[in-house]
Amino acid sequence: MELHIVGTNAITYPAMHVWDWRVASYLFLGGLSGGLMIMSAVNYIRPKNGQNADTLNAWKIPVLIPILLTIGLIFLNLDLERKLHAFWFYLTFKPVSPMSWGAWIVLIIYPLLIAYALAALPDNITRTIKYPTIRNWADALKPHLLKLAKVNIIAGVLLAIYTGILLSSLVARPLWNSPILPVLFLTSGMSTGAALMIILAKTKEMKLFFTKIDIWLIMAELLILVLMFYGHYVGDAVHQQAIAPFFSTSHEFFPYFLSIVVLGICLPLAVVLKFLEVTGEHTEELTTSSLLMMNFSALLVLVGGAVIRFALVYAGQLSGYSSYL
């Protein structure tokens, strides 16, 4: 069969690339922020067995989350073709539009993140704040840190999952149109959040705690990833075609094939390294080689999380119903 297309629109047909690295970066940073919100809250809420679990360092994470989310939103804003019209997001609420939900979720999450960051600031840092209003707010919020942490878990889940819901709601893109995609994004977001907690943590106890959590999250992520591809494989022709780029070695689809190879190496390798970390014996203070291994395995998880977002954003736009008229 031969197909000629005449008078077509080069942007929308037959290949459509309207969302690029800026959206993929936002999805990654949004998921990472959501994951960090959950993991940082878990760190505050969990029983510490009498230990002061890294309180000297833990406050940096609630401060980091709004910074990461802001960078992600800057990327998202860069993707908007009419940036000055962005205020329309907040003059409308569309209950059936996941993107409208996302805009409002971000608006609600920001004050929560600021309150959480202020509440988490230790006294010695609060005292250095020049502005008395902010200092007073930090002092007033400090007793509510645990409550804020609990709310952050819910908000973090919403933030990490909604990006997946947004993509999965698009019936026109068969690769995204899967109910398991939001679960994948949530798991991946939590896993990358745990990985960053491991990198930023100073104490052995905190590093090992999040390493244990991350092992389960990566294994769940791998299982969900396999199930997502399986779901498409046993689906109809458009869904089978949607995953074809990932299993094609042709020049055109090489980046997608490479992404599967990278994921197939990074995530299992991270699980093995983390397993060695938690089962190995450690001295009172972590040795340089242990630290390197922990940070390296956490870095693998972060790379895996980014690869998932980039590969799915680009490959999803290759998938469609155009060839099946």
Q: Decide: 76 and 22 in contact? Cβ < 8 Å.
A: yes
Stretch that binds another protein, among 60-68, 154-162, 279-287, 315-323 (CB under 8 A): 315-323
Query: Binding another protein by CB under 8 A: which of 56, 67, 74, 86?
Result: 86
Separation CA 144–CA 148 (nearest Å): 6
Is 89 near another protein (CB under 8 A)?
Answer: yes
Q: 186: which 2 tokens?
A: 């949530």
Which SS3 state, helix, strand or coil, does residue 176 take? coil
Residue 19: CA count within 13 A, CB half-sphere:
19
Stretch that binds another protein, among 50-58, 163-171, 179-187, 209-217 (CB under 8 A): 163-171
Is 22 near another protein (CB under 8 A)?
Answer: no
35-64 residues in contact with another protein (CB under 8 A) are none
Query: Binding another protein by CB under 8 A: which of 14, 111, 255, 264?
Result: 14
Is 73 near another protein (CB under 8 A)?
Answer: no
Q: How far is the CB of 246 from another protein (least distance, A)?
A: 19
Helices 60-79 and 181-200, packing angle to 10 deg = 130
Q: Please, which residue, 82 or 130, has the CB nearer to another protein?
A: 82
Per-residue CA distances from 138 to 40, 149, 180, 186 (Å):
18, 15, 40, 30
Cβ density class 232-251: b for 16+ within 10 Å, e for less: beebeebbebbbbbbeeeee
Stretch that binds another protein, among 75-83, 125-133, 240-248, 288-296 (CB under 8 A): 75-83
Is 92 near another protein (CB under 8 A)?
Answer: yes
Is 134 near another protein (CB under 8 A)?
Answer: no
Q: Decide: 200 and 60 in contact? Cβ < 8 Å.
A: yes
Neighbours of 230 (CB within 10 A): 12
Q: Please, which residue, 30 or 193, has the CB nearer to another protein?
A: 30
Is 103 near another protein (CB under 8 A)?
Answer: yes
**Contacts with another protein, residue ranges (CB under 8 A):** 1-14, 16, 18-19, 79-83, 85-86, 88-89, 91-92, 94, 96-100, 102-103, 166, 169-173, 316-317, 320-322, 324-325
